[in-house]
């Protein structure tokens, strides 16, 4: 498996030599070489009855990140769901306002028709 993972790494390096420095963080450019590395490591482990992921495969994945992708940052912030209590308040508040607003509209419409 060690020889096979070394072959996968060398093939990845071969594919990455066509990628310019300015393209290193563009997923559409690096997705093929990166996927090839992952599939090669995974298929090799499967053929030799090794578990995947394993320490050797992870070493090559980390090595790829350290060597090629260490300067890549997220251009757009990643948004997360709000905490449950905030989410619950955002859901319940409008639901509680609906009966009040319906009552207000009915009360005002009755009051308006009496004035006419």
pLDDT in tens, 1-51: 999 999 999 999 999 998 998 898 888 999 999 999 999 999 999 999 999
pLDDT of 25:
87
Instruction: Supply the pTM of this predicted model.
Output: 0.61
Q: How far apart are CA 33 and CA 101, in angstroms?
A: 58
Q: Is the peptide bond before 53 cis (omega within 30 degrees of 0)?
A: yes
> What is the per-residue pLDDT across 61-101, written as a single tens digit (0 to 9) for each?
999 999 998 887 766 666 778 889 988 999 999 999 999 99
> What is the DSSP secondary-structure string of 10-32?
HHHHHHHTTS-GGGTT-HHHHHH
CATH H superfamily, domain 1-69: Receptor activity modifying family (1.10.150.510)
């Amino acid at each position: 498996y060690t020889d096979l993972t070394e072959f996968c790494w060398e093939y990845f390096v071969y594919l990455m030599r066509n990628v310019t420095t300015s393209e290193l963080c563009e997923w559409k450019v690096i997705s093929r070489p990166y996927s090839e590395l992952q599939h090669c490591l995974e298929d090799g482990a499967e053929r030799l009855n090794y578990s995947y992921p394993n320490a050797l495969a992870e070493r090559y994945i980390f090595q790829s990140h350290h060597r090629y992708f260490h300067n890549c940052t997220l251009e757009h912030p990643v948004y997360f769901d709000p905490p449950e209590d905030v989410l619950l308040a955002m859901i319940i508040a409008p639901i509680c306002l609906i009966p009040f607003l319906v009552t207000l509209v009915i009360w005002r419409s009755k009051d308006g028709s009496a004035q006419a």
